[in-house]
Structure 1
Amino acid sequence: MWWVLWLTVAVLLGVAEFFTLTLALGLLAAGALVAAVAAGLGASVPIQVLAFAITGGVGLVAVRPVAKRHLALPPPSRDGSDALIGRSALVTREVSATGGLVHLSGEDWSARPYDEDLVIPPGVRVDVLQIDGATALVHPREALPDPRTTEG
């Protein structure tokens, strides 16, 4: 019944890894699983301990540094038109479902409202929510005045 003991150790180390996020305890849990398999196959206790030590040691020495390096990488930066998402633009020609124009990052871009029912008049600040080809899908930063209530 040594395999039950090793399985219990693996579960406890896995739970501890869940709370600490060190990666070391998770690799030791994998070693305990290997020892549990060895015990299940009828290996002697010294062989089980050796399987645990070798698996855990290799994990800590070989796998952990590589994993930590990947965790430390900066998030991928957005470039090209993806970098425009989230930026502010100024409507220069009325933006409706049929099209329009916004001034975005020093350039004029064709634009459509993100909400197809909106009509955004010139002079309104909008946020770019998506880029579809060469067209910016935009939404006003502030609520638009209701055209039925404005005097004109």
Structure 2
Amino acid sequence: MTTAQVIDLVATVRDPELRVVTIGELGIVRDVAVYDDRVTVTITPTYSGCPAMDMIRSDIEAALHAAGFADVAVDTVLSPAWSTDWISESGRRKLAEAGIAPPAAGGGRPVSLSLAVRCPRCGSPDTEELSRFGSTACKSLWRCRACLEPFDAVKTL
């Protein structure tokens, strides 16, 4: 299996908290190195205390073992810190389609300050944060004042 094929395989592992996106779409896969039958994958968590990292590590190892690699290592690096800019366009679209407001894309440029999160259902900016803590540690709970629907939003800070 080529390095490109291994990268493609690792990128298909689903995020255990945001099941609609893969770790490739979230941009947490930093590097993949293939040495004969040994694979080393380097990942960066979306934040340093992410409780899903053990499950992500286990899922990567399982996918690579199933592909025939006996010797698999998954390393975690915290620097540079993960950025929401690393979420792919398809990842942003899938989050919105699932009713989770994706963070604004900065594209490596300064991001304009937004005082509200747009509703992923109706697009209204008239929203309010109900709780800084959503269904998982990386999301907060919001409600749209226009359509009255609750929704999760990916935390940006």
So what's the TM-score if we normalise by structure 2? Answer: 0.21
User: Which entry has the higher C-alpha Rg, 1 or 2?
Assistant: 1
Answer 1 or 2: higher relative contact order, Cα 8 Å, separation at least 6.
2
So what's the TM-score if we normalise by structure 1? Answer: 0.22
